[in-house]
Structure 1
Amino acid sequence: MAEQRAGRVVSRRSERIQDAVPFRMMFGFRMHSGYAERRLEPGVLDLTFGDPHEMQMPEYVEALRSAAVPEDELWFAYKQSERPAQDAAAASLERVVRLGWTGDDLRMTTGGFGAITVAMKVLADPGDEVVYTLPPWFLYEPLALEAGLAPVKVRAAEPSFDLDLGGIASALTPRTRIVVVNSPNNPTGRIYPPELLLGLAGLLAEASARFGHRIWIVSDEPYNRIVFFGNEFHSPAEFYPHTLVCYSYGKTLLAPGQRLGYIAVPPGLEGRDEVLEAVDMMQIAAGWLFPNAVMQHATPALEKLTLDVAALEAKRDRLVGAMREIGYEVAVPDGTFYLWPRSPLPDDEAFVADLSRRGVFVMPGALFETPGWFRICLTATAETIEAAIPHLRDAFEAARKLRHGGVVEADSGQIP
């Protein structure tokens, strides 16, 4: 063992996490690309992360301010899951996914991160496999590796970016314990239809019987309230009871820095109490992954609030229309606050670099392990989106000329 550790400073697990392509690219993007400094420069148009770009709604601030005033001597004592927070969260979830949820079915977590971390460690042992679809939220792989799990990746069906049920079925092995489903999807904005989720439920039930152990769904649902007109959200939990629902308030309230979420186990599930007890223990063992006292005290008031989905939809429609007029291939997202256009250059990183030179920040598809595309975040102001359109037009035109005889500078990876 000593020989194996010779010359190494950190654990192999740390090295594997750092080597994960999405993690390495995201860390490099935030820390080493100049993004952190340039995003604050006058005139720079930031369309990258789901951060707020306007002052938080006064009702949100007041909810936290009120929750910070102690009502008893234990107001700031150690908190696990506070019952008023659980009840408020369950009532809200029941309005979206009608399965008879109560506060007993939920455990409050430090955002969606905490919920997914706990779900993976409760359901799977080191060496087990977790299957998810590309393009993914870029932190599934690091979270799986941290839990000692083996990521197994299946590409979505293009151009719809629906789940590829055939691909998922082929990826399942006796080591598979978890399939992650993210709907509405980040980054594509796709909401998976009921018939697709029903098909997934059938193939997982068959595979579970064949392998002699249950394959679970971890349903990552932080956008299940951000659904645009004419669309309807359905959770995998409606079709497959062995589903853990993971939710984050950071999206619905556009306050990702205030860590609040939950993990929910469907009522009536056989073994539900055992799963919930394991969740409680894992939250403690993994580093007290319960929200801070103030966030839990504020949850009932926060559940009355939401970001302006109609304003998001208006920004979506404006930008989709403008980009299609320019010539971009871009689908209309069903939900979330993202657009997922095809890059006009096969090298999406080169195209994103050119946009960056023009003062527009977006994310390359390579960060989502899906080269040839890029992601735009609609949480930017309407003014920012309007100002970005001419730059998107100029970058598209530059890419068009490049495809017809231009040359990309190999040393910079940027469009000259």
Structure 2
Amino acid sequence: MDDRHISDRVEAVAAATPFQMLYDFYRLSGYERRRHEPGVLDFTFGDPHDPPSAEYVEILREALVPQHELWFAYNFGDPAAIRAATDSLREHLGLPFEPEDVHLTTGGFAAISAALKVVGDPGDEVVYSLPPWFLYEGLILEAGMVPVKVPIDRRTFDLDLEAIAEAITPRTRIVIVNSPNNPTGRISPPALLERLAALLDERSERHGRRIHLVSDEAYNRIVYDGTRFRSPVEFYPWSFVAYSYGKTLLSPGERIGYLAVPSTMPAPARAEIRSAVETVQITGGWLFPNASMQYALPRLERLRFDVPLFQRKRDVMVAALREIGYRVAVPDGTFYLFPESPLSDDAEFARLLDREGVLVLPGRMFETPGFFRISLTATMETIEASVPPFAAAFAAAGVG
């Protein structure tokens, strides 16, 4: 008799390296206790460290007040919310989208998960670049698909198109692109995206099977230095946009986002995808946002991320780290830095920082040893207070 009570699929997800490291760090390392200790400076996750704005709280409060008897009924997608999201997509990406192709989801998680299951079958391959967001591998395995990982250019943090080309096989169904990238902050340049689109067209034709692109754009409104964000969808119509409001609103626990298909994708394909997305959302466990979040969305769309503040945080931290001796690239967007670790063992260096009262995530949690990630959602006061501990840890590493 087989006495196991866990499926092979779930065991595979739990054993995935990034998932296991994330779980161990969050649940088993003492992090939850450590981050609340007085004097500890937390730069780990993109959680808010400042109180939410009064306007944000008021919008949510008003959305909870029923206006009719069906206010909290099942909601496949509030029309006003979908219209607000569609208008925002058109404004920010400069691309045509139609409301019927914008599907509200419980954040970016659900958007990516739905896209995988809509076009992928068990055994299909999904190509993505390292360093990745933590949970790509887990989402792919949970969908019964096969993760295929490729490196980036560690000097520029750009996609390595040669590596992607080598990774594509007749089983490749999806390529995931994350721009602006978490954790590097790199925005993929237009010339590279044009070449990627040409590659995907050529390989789709060669293998007789369309490769889709999932564009993970959770940070597409958090860009610096006046940079214009260019979406991969602009260059490749066979794409999905996955977006989460949790980043720009600094509220990752309030789950709302969307999965969108541009109207540049041929109409017959879009028609098929519409009902397929809804099917996945229903059978996946009702992956639609709570009704109150949908009612709040038109007003939440008018709230703006404080880009100047976070650009100042970026500049202060980059300047301080470089003066100490760290090697760190200036990110184009997101609210992360991804400095090189002074020690080849980035986990050991993270422990050095911990002893100085500074919490960061080692690069191996992003399957990219030799780096570590800093989240700039920490307050400016925390950033300024962290400079001496960062200097002490660098000295303790014995570099230079």
- TM-score bracket relative to the smaller structure: over 0.9
Aligned-partner residue type, residue 289 of structure 2: P
Quote the residue 2:387 is aligned against: 389
- 2:363 pairs with 362, 365, 370, which one? 365
1:140 equivalenced with 2:136 (yes/no): yes
- TM normalised by structure 2 equals 0.98
Equivalenced residues, count:
398
Aligned-partner residue type, residue 339 of structure 2: P
Quote the residue 1:414 is aligned against: none
- TM normalised by structure 1 equals 0.95
Measured after TM superposition, the shift of residue 54 of structure 1 is 1.0
Aligned-partner residue type, residue 99 of structure 2: G
Matches within 5 A, 1:14-413: 14-270=10-266, 271-400=269-398
CA distance, structure 2, for counterparts of residue 201 and residue 304 of structure 1 = 32
Measured after TM superposition, the shift of residue 7 of structure 1 is 3.0
Measured after TM superposition, the shift of residue 268 of structure 1 is 3.9
- Find the residue that maps to 1:120 and give its secondary structure: helix
After superposition, what is the alpha-carbon deviation per residue over 1:303-332, rounded to whole angstroms, capped at 9, x for unaligned? 000221110000000000010111100000
Contact 1:88-1:103 within 8 A present in 2 as well: no
Contact 1:265-1:276 within 8 A present in 2 as well: no
CA distance, structure 2, for counterparts of residue 138 and residue 27 of structure 1 = 10
In structure 1, stretches of 5+ residues that fail to align are 405-416
CA distance, structure 1, for counterparts of residue 273 and residue 167 of structure 2 = 26
Aligned-partner residue type, residue 196 of structure 2: L
Contact 2:100-2:274 within 8 A present in 1 as well: no
- Find the residue that maps to 2:365 and give its secondary structure: helix
Contact 2:177-2:215 within 8 A present in 1 as well: yes
CA distance, structure 1, for counterparts of residue 225 and residue 83 of structure 2 = 28
CA distance, structure 2, for counterparts of residue 98 and residue 230 of structure 1 = 16
Aligned-partner residue type, residue 158 of structure 2: D
Aligned-partner residue type, residue 392 of structure 2: D
Aligned-partner residue type, residue 302 of structure 1: L
- Find the residue that maps to 2:397 and give its secondary structure: helix
CA distance, structure 1, for counterparts of residue 298 and residue 227 of structure 2 = 27
CA distance, structure 2, for counterparts of residue 399 and residue 268 of structure 1 = 52
Quote the residue 2:5 is aligned against: 9
CA distance, structure 1, for counterparts of residue 237 and residue 305 of structure 2 = 30
CA distance, structure 2, for counterparts of residue 389 and residue 103 of structure 1 = 47
CA distance, structure 2, for counterparts of residue 159 and residue 397 of structure 1 = 25
Contact 2:281-2:288 within 8 A present in 1 as well: yes
Aligned-partner residue type, residue 364 of structure 1: P
Measured after TM superposition, the shift of residue 118 of structure 1 is 0.3
Contact 1:125-1:148 within 8 A present in 2 as well: yes
In structure 2, stretches of 5+ residues that fail to align are none
Please provide the CA RMSD for this pair. Answer: 0.9
After superposition, what is the alpha-carbon deviation per residue over 1:201-236, rounded to whole angstroms, capped at 9, x for unaligned? 000000000000100000000000000013221111
Contact 2:96-2:264 within 8 A present in 1 as well: no
CA distance, structure 1, for counterparts of residue 364 and residue 120 of structure 2 = 28
CA distance, structure 2, for counterparts of residue 390 and residue 147 of structure 1 = 45
CA distance, structure 1, for counterparts of residue 38 and residue 89 of structure 2 = 41
Q: Kindly, what percent of the aligned residue pairs are identical?
A: 59
CA distance, structure 1, for counterparts of residue 345 and residue 304 of structure 2 = 37
Measured after TM superposition, the shift of residue 14 of structure 1 is 1.1
Contact 2:336-2:375 within 8 A present in 1 as well: yes
CA distance, structure 2, for counterparts of residue 195 and residue 165 of structure 1 = 12
Aligned-partner residue type, residue 376 of structure 1: I
